[in-house]
Amino acid sequence: MIFNKKGYLHFMFKRTLLILLFLLLSMPMLAHGDLTIRIAEKTIEISEDPNNFELYYQRGLLYQQHMEFDYALEDYLKSQFLGNTNKALHYQIAEVHFLTAAYTEALQSIEWYLELDSKDLSAKKLQAQILFQLQSHKKSLEGYRYVIHNMKDIRPEDVLEYCNIILAENNKNYKGALEAVEYGLDQLGPHTISLQLKKLDYLKDSGQTEKVLEQYNYFILEYNRNEFWYYKKAKYLTEINRPHEAFISLKLASVAIEQLNAKFKNMSPVIELKEQIKSLESSINNQKS
């Protein structure tokens, strides 16, 4: 018993020293706090059980979190070599390849994964993202469409990415992109700002002048503070050669600023805005004269 306890203590002492040594040597390179320690611990576990594919997989995940993608891939491939046939491994390999821009390899790995689980939405999304990078826009769009319409909780980011693919596939398909935005607004809430902003961009890019102005009015009416929106609307009105309306919008912007509390008036974005208003106003006046 005494011997066992002594042996255990000796083992723990040696193990602790090894972890500390690893940490010391890797400190400058690995500065992610407890992730560094967990990688060190996993390394010790691997040294004690070098043929355990699960351990390599787990360390690969840690390296990946640590953004040490080469090490992560090395561990995943070692895990595979040692017999890991788990579908999650294919996903991770695909993801690391994707993150390191090795898109062909990434596609191969994710397709292996999808052979095992053809309906996994995360995998379908990754596949669509890989296809997009490989300029296979049509297939990418098909895949992403499936994801968008089947994912339980989409995010604004997903909708924006979907729109981007729609326009990559056909750079004139603003109708499709705007429908996707509307679908997003329907799913996420009608006032989701990043989608409303994207809607404005697409309406502008597709030259739908009156709808652009309606969209600016939406922002003006929806938000507590609208000085920035008045200015942006005025700028757009100037661009489409409607100087008088622009002039009125600038007046509204100035009044909106005047109605702010002093704190907001003195914020640098508002101070800059005042300058921009002044400059646009004089440019409109010059146009008139």
Partner 1 sequence: MIKKSTFLLAALCSVVSIAQTYNVDLPNVSAVAVTNPVGLPQHSASVTVVRGPYLQSGTPTSVVVKWRTDIPTQSVVHYGKTLKSLSKKASNSALTTEHEVALSGLFPDTKYYFNVGNKSEVLSKSDSGEMYIITPPTAGTKQFVRAWILGDAGTANNNQREVRDAYYDYVEDAPQNKGKTDMMLFLGDNAYGSGTDEQYQNALFDIYDDMLKKSVAWSCLGNHDGKSADSATQSGPYYDIFTFPTNAQAGGTASGTEAYYSFDYANIHFIILDSHHTSRAVGGAMYNWTKADIQNTKQDWIVTLFHHPIYTKGSHDSDTEDRLIEMRQNFMPMMEANGVDLILNGHSHSYERSFFLNGHYGFAHTFNPDEISEGGHTVGENGHGDGKVDSNGAYQKTSAAAEGAVYITTGSAGKISGGDLNHQAMSVSLNQLGSCVMEVEDDGRGGQNLTVKFIRENDDIEDYFTINKSGIALKADSTASGLISGGLIYDANKGEVKLKVDKNDRLKKVNIYNNIGELVKKSRKESINVGKLPKGLYIIEVITKNKGYTESITIE
Contact (Cβ atoms closer than 8 angstroms) between residue 121 and residue 147 = yes
Instruction: Give the interface segment with partner 1, choosing from 15-23, 69-77, 99-107, 138-146 (CB under 8 A).
Output: 15-23
* # binding residues, partner 1 (CB under 8 A): 64
Contact (Cβ atoms closer than 8 angstroms) between residue 131 and residue 161 = no
The distance of closest approach from Cβ of residue 221 to partner 1 in the complex, given in angstroms and rounded to an integer, is 7
Q: Choose, by CB under 8 A, the member of 45, 260, 276, 281 that binds partner 1.
A: 260
Q: How far apart are CA 30 and CA 268, in angstroms?
A: 38
Q: What is the largest CA-CA distance in the chain?
A: 102
Instruction: Give the interface segment with partner 1, choosing from 77-85, 100-108, 174-182, 250-258 (CB under 8 A).
Output: 250-258
In order, the DSSP letters of 59-79 are HHHHHHHTT-HHHHHHHHHHH
The distance of closest approach from Cβ of residue 245 to partner 1 in the complex, given in angstroms and rounded to an integer, is 6
**Binding string, 188-227, against partner 1, x = CB under 8 A?**
xxxxxxxx-x-------------------x--xx-xxx--
**Binding string, 44-83, against partner 1, x = CB under 8 A?**
---------------------x-x----------------
Contacts of 150 (CB under 8 A, 6+ apart): 121
Contact (Cβ atoms closer than 8 angstroms) between residue 62 and residue 42 = yes
In a 3-state reduction of DSSP, which class is residue 52?
coil
In order, the DSSP letters of 20-51 are HHHHHHHTTT---THHHHHHHHHHHHHHHSTT
Q: Choose, by CB under 8 A, the member of 118, 268, 286, 289 that binds partner 1.
A: 268
Q: Which 164-193 positions form the footprint of partner 1 (CB under 8 A)? A: 184, 188-193
Q: Dihedral, CA atoms, 124, 101, 77, 85, nearest 10 degrees?
A: 10
Residues that bind partner 1 (CB under 8 A): 10, 13-14, 17, 20-21, 23-24, 27, 31-34, 37, 65, 67, 121-122, 125, 151-153, 155-158, 160, 184, 188-195, 197, 217, 220-221, 223-225, 228, 233, 245, 248-249, 251-252, 255-256, 258-269
